Chain A
Amino acid sequence: MRAKGSALTRVPVLENVSRSPHPAKEALLDGPDEKDDVSGPGAPEGDLLSGCRTGDVRAFEKLYELHGARMKSVARNLLGRESEAEDAVQEAFLKIYRGAASFRGSATISTWVYRILVNTCYDQLRKRRRHPEDPLDASGGEGEGTLPPASASDHPLRLAIEQSLSRLAPRQKTVFLLFAVEGFSHREIAGVLDVSEGASRALLFEAKRRLQDLLWTSGVRGRASA
């Protein structure tokens, strides 16, 4: 079992937001764990945290600069729409402000920030399940905020994977998105989801296995078989 808050307290693992957008290419099973844990430039965590505690807008701006783009992407893939993703990011920032006073540093700020974001997205999904009358929900999240077709043509598999993702269990989907799409390491995911690193690896394997099954049964084939 992972000792909670041990390594996480020492390694500011999520600070580097400029890591490769394709970190998972090398991953067959689930790839090497520590991809490139390099601290990024910017304010030290202590300064950032004290700024957030006092409601200093510059601290939040720094946090947004460091993580805003990735937060939007995570939320968009979990919720399905850009507008909802932006709402979730805004809500997460408010929760960060409200919670900064009681944050005791058992994880890095960045891990904590993504934990808040993922939980905010789960809350929105729960709300959506309770109020399914919104007609947009029936569309599976596409429509407003769909990416331009250039992306789809670069990766014909993208749409198929995206559709199949909605059929995964929420945790499997989240781990897949964080690891394979956003380039988080298993250590980081363990901190965000409050699970062990082993559980994160197992969830990723299950997610990929299920995706592979779903794609295969819907007729999608690898290039080698074409």
Chain B
Amino acid sequence: MTRHCTRGQDALQRNDPSAMERLRVHAARCAECAGRLALWDEISGAAPSLRREWESPGLFPKIAAAIEVERARRPPAEQARPFLMPAASRFRWIPLAAAAALFVVAMAGLQVFRNSGGREPLVNAASTSNPLLTDRSLEDVEIAEANYVRSIERLSVLARPRIESPTTPLFVNYREKLQLLDSAIVEIRAQIDANRFNSHLRRELLAMYQEKQRTLQELMKEARS
């Protein structure tokens, strides 16, 4: 039966430089401990070969485009003073808005109550006076939006040859950015479909389209120069 020397194993269990020094002396006449010690040293020697390096020419353009999209999605006020306003203060408007909404509802209720002379129950008087006002505004917004989108699409058609077969890294960059913008637009559109009256989403969509328009214009300018 082979006897195993455990001194190497014991010394390596402890984070103790003096134990390691004793092990080195002992390893000079013990093959097993010499092997353990050599392996210990070789781990450090081989470790740097685990470093990974590969080319990824498309990575930074993707990062830059994603940052551009993120920047376009930020409300202008936030862009103007990005690091002066702590996160908590961005939500200060919520209680104010809630109080204002409560006030409006209370005043509307009071008005309805006065009109009915205080005798009859509420019979949707407020809503019958001008029921299509919100719907009509929405319709106007949607028409304007459709016209705007059509004009951007015309610009896209003009830029398409450059986008589809980019000749320089700059045009690759533009293509990446436009793809990201398009996917963000699709995402916001899906949210709007679920909530057509959400003006915040509409503003965000408009910002996306504006960014797309700017990008297309820059691209066309570059193509001409």
Tell me if B17 is interfacial: C-beta within 8 Å of chain A.
yes
Tell me the interface secondary structure of chain B in the complex. helix
Give the residue name and chain of the B residue nearest to A25 (CB): B45
- How many angstroms from the CA of A76 to the CA of B13 in the assembled complex? 30
Contacts of B41 in A (CB 8 A): 28, 222
List A8-56 residues whose CB lies under 8 Å from chain B.
21-25, 27-29, 31, 53-55
Whether the Cβ atoms of B39 and A215 lie closer than 8 Å is: yes
Whether the Cβ atoms of A223 and B38 lie closer than 8 Å is: yes
Contacts of B60 in A (CB 8 A): 61, 64, 68
Tell me if B71 is interfacial: C-beta within 8 Å of chain A.
yes
Contacts of A73 in B (CB 8 A): 51-53
Q: Which of B51, B54, B70 has the most CB of A within 10 A?
A: B51
- How many angstroms from the CA of A24 to the CA of B42 in the assembled complex? 10
Whether the Cβ atoms of A222 and B63 lie closer than 8 Å is: no
Which of A61, A68, A157, A224 touches B46 (beta carbons < 8 Å)? A157
Contact with A along B66-106 (1 / 0, CB 8 A): 11101100000001001100110000000000000000000
Whether the Cβ atoms of A23 and B48 lie closer than 8 Å is: yes
Whether the Cβ atoms of B66 and A90 lie closer than 8 Å is: yes
Contacts of A177 in B (CB 8 A): 50
Nearest chain A CB to B13's CB is how many angstroms away? 7
Tell me if A94 is interfacial: C-beta within 8 Å of chain B.
yes
Nearest chain A CB to B24's CB is how many angstroms away? 9
Contacts of B20 in A (CB 8 A): 28-29
- How many angstroms from the CA of A38 to the CA of B36 in the assembled complex? 35
Given A29-B17, A157-B43, A216-B36, does the pair A94, B66 have CB atoms closer than 8 Å?
yes
- How many angstroms from the CA of A23 to the CA of B47 in the assembled complex? 10
Nearest chain A CB to B68's CB is how many angstroms away? 7
Whether the Cβ atoms of A222 and B38 lie closer than 8 Å is: yes
- Stretch from A109-117, A120-128, A129-137, A179-187 forming part of the interface with B: A179-187
Contact with A along B1-30 (1 / 0, CB 8 A): 000000000001101010010000001000
Whether the Cβ atoms of B63 and A90 lie closer than 8 Å is: yes
Tell me if B185 is interfacial: C-beta within 8 Å of chain A.
no
Tell me if A162 is interfacial: C-beta within 8 Å of chain B.
yes
Contacts of B34 in A (CB 8 A): 222, 224-225
Whether the Cβ atoms of A77 and B63 lie closer than 8 Å is: no
| Contacts from A to B (Cβ < 8 Å) | 21-25, 27-29, 31, 53-55, 57, 60-61, 64, 68-69, 72-73, 76-77, 82, 85-86, 89-90, 93-94, 97-98, 100-102, 145, 147, 151, 154-155, 157-158, 161-162, 176-177, 180-183, 201-202, 205, 208-209, 211-212, 215-216, 220-225
- A-B contacts, 25 listed (Cβ < 8 Å): A21-B51, A23-B48, A27-B44, A29-B15, A29-B17, A54-B82, A55-B70, A57-B67, A60-B63, A60-B67, A61-B64, A77-B52, A82-B52, A98-B70, A101-B82, A102-B87, A155-B49, A157-B43, A161-B47, A180-B47, A182-B51, A209-B13, A212-B40, A215-B39, A222-B42
